[in-house]
Structure 1
Amino acid sequence: MQKGLSRELTNRHVQMIAIGGAIGTGLFLGSGMAIQKSGPAIILAYLLAGIFCFFMMRAIGELILSDLNKSSFIEFVSEYLGEKWEFLVGWTYWLCWESLAMADLTASGIYIKYWFPQIPQWLTALVIIIVLLLFNLLSVGAFGELETWFSSIKILAIVALIVTGIILLLTSAKIGGEVVSLHNLVKNGGFFPKGMKGFVLAMPMVLFAFTGIEMVGLTSGETANPKKDLPKAINTLPLRIGLFYIGSMFVLMCIHPWNEIAVSTSPFVQVFSSLGIKIAAGVINFVVLTAALSACNSAIFSTSRTLFVLSRNKHAAKRFGEVNNRSIPVASLVFSSLILFVIVILNYVLPHQIFEIISGVSTVSFILVWIILVVCHLKYKQAHPKVNVGFPMPFYPVANILTIIFFSGVLLLLLLDFSTSLALLFTALWLGVLLLIYHGLAKKQGEV
């Protein structure tokens, strides 16, 4: 009998992994650009995206709880959509996290330059890969503990911003000669200063901030009490979205009118700097570095567990499905980490252009996987209409259909931008190559 993964992740770990997945560099850095695209309407954009991400997570939650013997949501794709789709989704999900990690490794090199400008980007990426790999090789509990601390730092920064903003709002304080007021939300062109076009065009950037939110679904095979911990983590998602995304955007634009928020720097830095807090830039730089490290840590975990599942289902090399005496899939961890060394080379060759290219591939891949998982849930409900796992998808099947339409619409919007359209093209080529490999392997095994 093959030895499986161990259930070392506690409720605290699962909650913080879920929070960490919901808060990325997209909020700390990308929010400034998103605000300039849509103005205060970005608050509504985060709310709308958050609702559909919540539906997607509820679909994943019901799938997982229907069969806790499965190691992750990827195995459900095989059961309800077939082995071909499991192969495509599994390897595409692996690409999701590999590309996201590469983007954040690149970002980490940029953040480190703030304190040590002489250190090249590629060297920072190299050191981070080695350190996080060693940490993940210790135990899944060590991963959970590290991710808990990373998430705590991010939460502290957001709460500090929101509390500061509320105090300034209640006291009608003046920042840069202007009163902190609710009126700042509508004083420059109203709530929709860029119209519906700006609101719609900001949506891909908003959704990028949510990439990785589904990762809590990969922890089911290593969670001590999945029946209790997973529903709790998923159900608190609306609260997290409301507090972290909508709350932070609300206070940001009450403090500074939307058209005064910079694109080139983090809005968080701008707020604290305008308050005369000289160390603000350094502190926020540390926070965004933490967010990037968190994403890299999650990527090493996610890619290794994805390879583990693919191997156990004969869609990857046999050694990727083996674990050591601490129930760690060592070969999967090492392979995924070695692939990340590609970004070390790319940062040496293309240090300025690589972040935008890689992050686009990651966003497209994640959205595709989300759509397939929601479709998978639809198939599950059709196959088992009377089964009740105690955690049903709300508003099924209407919520499923609307979620698929929303995510598909965002993919179409990506065609309007040159860099993201290239990401769509790359992902289409990736899927084409995977199909050729799958059929080649199937033919070799005498199945077709």
Structure 2
Amino acid sequence: MTQTDTQPNSLNAEQVGYKQTLNSRHVQMIAIGGAIGTGLFLGSASRLHNTGPALVISYAVVGVIAYFLMRALGELVLHRATSGAFVSYMREFFGEKWAFVTGWIYWLNWALTGIAELSAVGLYIQYWWPNMPTWATVLIALAVVLSINLLSARAFGEFEFWAAILKVGAILIFLVVGLVVVIGGFDIGGHKAGFQNLWSNPGGFWPHTGDFNWYGPILVMSGVVFAYAAIEMVGVAAGEMADAEKEVPKAVNAVIFRIAVFYIGSILLLVSMLPTDQYTAGTSPFVTVFEKLGLTWMSTVIQAILIVAAMSSLNSGLYSTGRVLRSLGMSKQAPQFTLKMSKSGVPWAGIVMTSVVFVLGSVLNFLTPDAFEIAVEATSVMILFTWGTIFACQIRLRQLTDRGVIPKGAFQAPGYPYTSLIGLVFLVLVLIGLAISGWQASPYLLHKTSFLVVVFGIPVLAAVLALSWRVVKPKVVENTGNKIESLWTLDGPRYSDVTPDDLDPADDASIV
């Protein structure tokens, strides 16, 4: 049977050539690593300064939404584990057009994120070597993660495993030190540590006077969302797990615990140790605390962890985009060279394509940093879209399983349909929040970055994608035999030669 005979074969063909080499410890640490990054280590400083202790509530609320997201993703993965992830699910449940949109938005998100992370690595390295040329740092950092990705999926998993170990280790040290300092009521930088700082903080627990607004902790959720970005990586990695049915539920169910301990626990201790006005944007709050405690060596460790976190993000970006591009290439929605794979099961061509964009983008960032800032802000909208596709696909999947069109999965998300609907509504509110916070950010229109991205950027991106789809659509129609709609209707298969059994990748192991 050829790839174009049926839609299911197109879906399953994505998995041909991949090696299922990611085991339990890789999966667990990929899930942890996706939930701990520069958003916690660095980005939380400005949020603490501008929001106050109520930031704990902001992180907790978004953490619940992140858990809803992971349960929805877990249900999709156990329905069908695929390296095409969100692209493949959108293809199955909403058709080729939405797969095209989802894939390119996700790729663009990682491309822009990777460029920003490369630039960040250059700045972090200058903490130790001030005279190190940033361009040299960019090339060295990219060479390292590119080499790892080109080796194998297992090499990627090993890097993420040890990166996660370092990040988790640093957070655990902080949590232990923080608990001792807070419970013991130690003096830190002239301030007495203790949980009383939650309400004795300047402005109280929920500051709403002076420079603060009552809606501050609510509005800041639009930024907190991006601290959790990349937890969806488990969905992409599922296609190369040795036992996705066993490992994904374990990883997903542990997410809420990790969020509670690492994120909410860290923020709670930070606001209990120092007044929030002591934290400043651009300096890790953990560095601030350790320096005031006189533990300068830990400040140095945190600076190193920032590099690890940025490298981990780069590593994840190359891994994800290589697989997403190959999924798009399978339906003629991306250049055909992106289908090329190595003997070790690595879609190397797509990975190299993304790395070239990283380099070119880094050069552009150095030349026009103000223009690039708008591009980086656009990634926030792209993350919201990707999360939205997960919720939408899970809702559609459950509609089909409830009607008996598709067999019920073994790991269904609880609270259907309310948890996913709440998730979708929340993402819309975050989008509105981005526009509002962007408008308030500056008195000058051209510096209202998030506002410009939401109000003008989204329509521009939508227009570009619509035109691009018109260009590739004839090839997609030819490749799929004009089967470009969703695979299922609420009454059964959309196409007469399709059955639920066709979705089993084992049935298509010979597709090339």
TM-score range, shorter chain: over 0.9
Deviations 1:397-440 (A, max 9, x none): 01111110101100111112011123333344223212211122
Aligned in 2, Cα 1:30/1:419: closer, same or farther, shift over 3 Å? same
In the alignment, which of 460, 464, 467 is matched to residue 429 of structure 1? Answer: 460
Aligned counterpart in structure 2 of residue 128 of structure 1, from 126, 141, 147: 141
Q: Which residue of 88, 96, 99 maps to 1:83?
A: 96
Question: CA separation in 2, counterparts of 1:168 and 1:73?
Answer: 44
Give me the whole-angstrom Cα distance separating, in 1, the residues matched to 2:350 and 2:124.
29
Aligned equivalents of 1:423, 1:168: Cα separation in 2: 42
Question: CA 1:200 to 1:69, structure 2 compared with 1: closer, same or farther past 3 Å?
Answer: closer
Asked whether the equivalents of residues 116 and 362 of structure 2 are also in contact (C-alpha less than 8 Å), the reply is: no
| Amino acid across the alignment from 2:97 | K
- How big is the shift at 1:72? 2.2
Quote the offset at 1:336 in angstroms.
1.1
Are 2:32 and 1:32 equivalent residues in the alignment? Answer: no
**Corresponding residue for 1:378?**
395
Matched with 1:322 is 340
Q: CA offsets per residue over residues 345-370 of structure 1, 9 Å max, x none?
A: 1233135x467434312211011111
* In 1: Cα distance, 2:183 partner to 2:342 partner: 56
The aligned counterpart of 2:507 is: none
Match of 2:487 in 1: none
The letter of the residue matching 1:439 is R
Per-residue deviation at 1:64? 1.5
The match for 2:361 is 343
- Superposition pairs of residues 176-195 of structure 1, within 5 angstroms: 176-187=189-200, 188-194=202-208, 195=213
SS at the partner of 1:380?
helix
CA RMSD of aligned residues (A): 1.9
TM-score in terms of structure 2 length = 0.84
Point out the structure with the larger helix share: 1
Counterpart amino acid of residue 361 in structure 1: A
The amino acid that maps onto 2:218 is: V
* 1:392 paired residue among 393, 397, 412: 412
Describe the superposition over 1:208-249 as per-residue Cα deviations: whole angstroms up to 9, x where unpaired.
Answer: 111111011001110000001111111100011011110000
Q: Which of 315, 326, 331 is 1:297 aligned to?
A: 315
Is the contact made by 2:193 and 2:273 (CA closer than 8 Å) also made in structure 1? Answer: yes
Q: Does the alignment pair 1:412 with 2:437? A: no
**In the alignment, which residue of structure 2 is the partner of 1:226?**
244
Mean alpha-carbon deviation: is it higher for 112-121 or for 160-169? Answer: 112-121
Question: Deviation of residue 332 (structure 1)?
Answer: 1.0
Deviation at 1:169, TM superposition (A): 1.8
Gaps of 5+ in 2: 3-12, 439-447, 485-512
**Change over 3 Å in CA distance of 1:354–1:155 after alignment to 2:** farther
Shift, 1:141, TM fit: 0.5
Instruction: Give SS of 1:391's match.
Output: coil
Aligned residues: 447
Q: TM-score, normalised by structure 1?
A: 0.95
Separation in 2, partners of 1:35, 1:69? 39
Whether the aligned pair in 2 keeps the contact of 1:181 and 1:255 (CA below 8 Å) is: yes
Q: How far apart, CA to CA, are the structure 2 residues paired with 1:381 and 1:139? A: 34
Q: 2 CA distance for matches of 1:170 and 1:384?
A: 50
Preserved contact between residue 8 and residue 141 of structure 1 (Cα < 8 Å): yes
Identify which range, 416-425 or 214-223, moves more after superposition: 416-425
Instruction: From the superposition, tell whether residues 358 and 163 of structure 1 become closer, same or farther in structure 2 (CA, over 3 Å).
Output: farther
Q: Residue type matched to 1:132 in 2?
A: V
Does structure 1 conserve the Cα–Cα contact (< 8 Å) formed by 2:333 and 2:472? no
Candidates 235, 244, 258, aligned match of 2:262: 244
> CA distance change for structure 1 residues 213 and 51 in 2, over 3 Å: closer, same or farther?
same
Contact kept in structure 1, 2:65 and 2:423, CA below 8 Å: yes
Whether the aligned pair in 1 keeps the contact of 2:86 and 2:389 (CA below 8 Å) is no
Aligned positions of 1:111-260 closer than 5 A: 111-187=124-200, 188-194=202-208, 195-260=213-278
Task: State the partner residue of 1:440.
Answer: 471
Q: Kindly name which structure, 1 or 2, has the bigger radius of gyration based on alpha carbons.
A: 2
Q: How much identity, in percent, do the aligned residues show?
A: 37
In 2, the alpha carbon distance for the partners of 1:134 and 1:311 equals 23
1:315 alignment partner AA: Q
